[in-house]
Structure 1
Amino acid sequence: MDPTPTLQTVGSWPVADQLSLVFRLWDQILDTGWQPSPDPALLAELDRRLAAHAADPSRALTRDQVVDHVRRNRYCM
């Protein structure tokens, strides 16, 4: 199946509707039992971060600190 005509149609929808479709498709795929396999580079980065945290847990941020950081930077664009 060539998805081009469908993508052209969906591309004319409002962004909120496009995102809703993406999320529903993703949920449908996950409901089949499929799970994405992490990329080896991602696994290596996660291992590196876990080792860094184990070496110095005092550098970890709280959830509130992370949320504040994201909110501050989100509106600086």
Structure 2
Amino acid sequence: MNVDQTILDLSTLPISDRLRVVHAIWDSLPDDVDLSATPEQQAELDRRLAAHRSDPSTAISHDELMRRVQSRR
């Protein structure tokens, strides 16, 4: 199996099918897999949280996020 070719093939599927694949893969991970953020990811999360705390007005509500997502469909 060529993973790169599989990813390329999957990218041609409709979004709903790709989401099904994502969910199936996620659900297949063992319960004891380490899902910790890498140091780089943690640094980025910390940076974004600090930016939000310094100016919370830049955030949008969940309702607004969902409205924007729905408007793109």
TM-score by length of 2: 0.57
**Counterpart-to-counterpart distance in 2, 1:19 and 1:66:** 19
Structure 2 runs not aligned, ≥5 long = none
Q: Which moved more, 1:22-31 or 1:56-65?
A: 22-31
**Counterpart-to-counterpart distance in 2, 1:36 and 1:49:** 20
Percent identical among aligned pairs is 38
Alignment of 1:1-77 (within 5 A): 4=1, 15=13, 16=17, 20=20, 22-31=22-31, 33-72=32-71, 74-75=72-73
Structure 1 runs not aligned, ≥5 long = none
Structure whose alpha-carbon radius of gyration is higher: 1
Residue type of the alignment partner of 2:65:
V
Residue type of the alignment partner of 1:59:
T
**Counterpart-to-counterpart distance in 2, 1:59 and 1:21:** 33
RMSD: 2.8
59 and 34 in structure 1: CA distance in 2 versus 1, 3 angstrom threshold: same
**Counterpart-to-counterpart distance in 2, 1:37 and 1:62:** 26
